[in-house]
Each structure stands twice: as C-alpha cells, then as structure tokens.
C-alpha cells in the first residue's frame, strides 16, 4: 500500500471554527490532491499541488485553502467551517499528471460541522 496517512481520521467541529486536515506521504510523489466525497457526487477535486509551494484550484475550491511547505505534507484548511463542508475528505498522491498514471488514496477524514 502507498504510504499515505491522514489526520485526524474523525473530527466534529462547530460552524465558524477553523479546521486543518493533514495529509502525509512517504512515497516522495510530486503531486498531491484533496477531494471531498459526498453521496451522489462521487469524489470532487478541491485543490491539488504540483510541487512545494505550488498549488491550484479544483472544481469545488470555495471555502478551502491549502498549503504545501514540504514534499511529504499537504494541508487543507477550512478557514470558517460551514455545515455544507460536512463530508469525507480524501488525500491522494501521484507521480505524474500523465493520463495513465494512477492516483493512490489515503484512508480519509470524516468531518462533521455542527
């Protein structure tokens, strides 16, 4: 299995509080991704990173920011959590953006915003 860990694995928070989720990889892959999984939507890309300090937006980036100060760590921050951000969040990594290159997924973080 690809070495990807996510922390925390579960979190309950209140509306308006900041939340940071961490993804850590031991594979030295260049690309890292954050997705959210919601019923009926599959997984949707929030942000991705193509190197240290290099990030870009995905299709559902509003209300989220990311940072990557080291190759192995990719942080997702909800500056002021809302109930619509209740979801399961997955981190993924890949070696390249080539179409045939697989993405490997972490175990997920279940976030509940009350």
Partner 1 sequence: GNSVTQMEGPVTLSEEAFLTINCTYTATGYPSLFWYVQYPGEGLQLLLKATKADDKGSNKGFEATYRKETTSFHLEKGSVQVSDSAVYFCALKGQKLVFGQGTRLTINP
Q: Which residue ranges make up the site for partner 1 (CB under 8 A)?
A: 4, 33, 40-45, 48, 58, 90, 92, 97, 99-108
Cβ distance to partner 1 smaller for residue 80 or 96: 96
Could you give the angle at the alpha carbon of 103 between the alpha carbons of 111 and 22, nearest 5°? Answer: 35
- Residue 48 vs 64, nearer CB to partner 1: 48
| Rounded Cα gap, residues 89 and 29, in angstroms | 19
CB of 11 to partner 1, least distance (A): 16
Nearer to partner 1 by Cβ, of 14 and 56: the residue is 56
Q: Is the peptide bond before 53 cis (omega within 30 degrees of 0)?
A: no
The nearest distance, CB 79 to partner 1, in angstroms, is: 24
CA torsion sign for 50, 109, 63, 38 is positive
């Amino acid at each position: 299995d690809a070495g990807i860990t996510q922390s925390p694995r579960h979190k309950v928070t209140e509306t308006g509080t900041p939340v940071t989720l961490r993804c850590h990889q031991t594979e030295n892959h260049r690309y890292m991704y954050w997705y959210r999984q919601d019923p009926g939507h599959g997984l949707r890309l929030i942000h991705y990173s193509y190197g240290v300090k290099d990030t870009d937006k995905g299709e559902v980036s509003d209300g989220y920011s990311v940072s990557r100060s080291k190759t192995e760590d990719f942080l997702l921050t909800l500056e002021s959590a809302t109930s619509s951000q209740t979801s399961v969040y997955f981190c993924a990594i890949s070696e390249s953006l080539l179409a045939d290159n697989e993405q490997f997924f972490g175990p997920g973080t279940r976030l509940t915003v009350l």
